[in-house]
């Protein structure tokens, strides 16, 4: 699948982040759009069609490819990936290190290794030179989470009977009851719900399915939203547009967009009096942290979060250790 594609630089949508007074994270400087080499387009197509990577992963790899192509064209006058040398890649990562964290550079290293692994397997290059690049050092940071009091305050904030409040209440309760990711939340279909038993089937990273559980309060919030949702579709005669998504938007009744979800989280946090910006992922971190602090074993939390590796879940034990330190200092006679 050969051809030439020009991927224009993305336009960053600030949404309501500025309006709410939260700091805007730094962005990559704009680069001129350069044509993507056909081999790179073939690799991206292979990822999508053969490996069937998630849309989020594919979008990230496309973005990484655009940045790499711009650097090679501007600094090295190279457009063909077969002409890339280890020195060029080293200079590329040195350039990235000036403005990106170790975690962001690691993602770009993964996409680069995937590209060269495909080029090598396809016989276009004699070896995968990306394997010679060292992994960037990462400072392991504790996940940001809310205290139990903050979560309770957050869940109690949407009290009204309007559509915005009913939807926000359901979003917040489902997030904290299940600990699911934002992408998993907006992908729930009505057919995935078993409200009688408090179960919801979701498809996580890599297409892996799992069953999440919802307590009584979350189930009630979802029932109220489903009733309001059905009335909204009926009033605006959207029945023919109904694709079965649990959470819909106000524009055309389609699936709720991630940016809309984040605006709802920002609004809920502000109304609840929480000074830090609240995100769906912060609620996921809170879910895991609170379970571990109350005696849940880490293997069970791993299953509930949908982590493929136990080491990914292990970061929450550091949070619990920090909490244990506070308890020790407060309770020990000589603490």
- Catalytic residue annotation: 181, 205, 281, 284, 307, 316
DSSP string, 29-61: PP----EEPHHHHHHHHHIIIII---HHHHHHH
CA distances from 26 to 23, 31, 88 (A): 9, 15, 25
Comparing CA positions, the residue from 21, 26, 27 lying closest to residue 269 is 21
Whether 28 and 99 have beta carbons less than 8 Å apart is answered as yes
Residue 177 has which token pair? 């009851």
Question: CA torsion sign, 300 to 306 to 312 to 316?
Answer: negative
Distance (Å, whole) CA 111 – CA 47:
11
Three-state DSSP class for 255?
strand
Backbone angles phi, psi at 36, to 5 degrees: -85, 130
CA distances from 196 to 9, 39, 221, 326 (A): 47, 51, 13, 40
Give 93's DSSP letter. H
Tell me, rounded to whole angstroms, the distance of Cα 35 from its chain centroid.
28
């Amino acid at each position: 699948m050969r051809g030439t594609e020009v991927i224009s630089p993305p336009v960053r949508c600030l949404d309501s982040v500025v309006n709410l007074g939260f700091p805007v994270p730094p962005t990559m400087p704009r680069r001129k759009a350069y044509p993507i080499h056909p081999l790179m387009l073939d690799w991206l197509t292979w990822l999508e069609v053969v490996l069937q990577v998630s849309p989020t992963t594919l979008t990230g790899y496309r973005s990484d490819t655009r940045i790499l192509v711009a650097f090679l064209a501007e600094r090295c006058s190279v457009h063909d990936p077969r002409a890339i040398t280890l020195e060029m890649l080293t200079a590329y990562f040195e350039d990235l290190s000036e403005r990106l964290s170790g975690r962001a550079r690691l993602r770009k290293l993964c996409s680069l290794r995937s590209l060269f692994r495909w080029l090598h397997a396809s016989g276009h290059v004699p070896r995968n030179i990306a394997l010679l690049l060292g992994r960037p050092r990462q400072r392991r940071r504790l996940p940001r989470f809310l205290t139990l009091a903050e979560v309770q305050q957050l869940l109690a904030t949407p009290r009204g009977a309007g559509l915005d409040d009913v939807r926000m209440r359901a979003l917040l309760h489902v997030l904290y009851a299940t600990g699911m990711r934002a992408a998993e939340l907006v992908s729930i279909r009505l057919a995935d719900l078993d409200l009688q038993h408090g179960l919801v089937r979701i498809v996580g990273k890599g297409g892996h399915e799992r069953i999440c559980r919802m307590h009584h309060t979350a189930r009630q919030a979802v029932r109220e939203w489903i009733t309001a949702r059905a009335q909204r579709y009926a009033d605006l005669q959207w029945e023919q547009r109904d694709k079965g998504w649990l959470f819909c938007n106000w524009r055309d009744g389609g699936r709720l967009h991630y940016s809309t979800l984040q605006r709802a989280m920002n609004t809920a946090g502000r109304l609840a009096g929480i000074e830090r910006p609240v995100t769906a992922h912060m609620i996921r971190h809170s879910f895991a942290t609170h379970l571990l602090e109350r005696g849940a074993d880490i293997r069970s939390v791993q299953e509930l979060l949908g982590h493929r590796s136990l080491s990914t879940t292990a970061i929450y034990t550091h949070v619990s250790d920090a909490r244990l330190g506070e308890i020790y200092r407060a309770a020990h006679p000589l603490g």
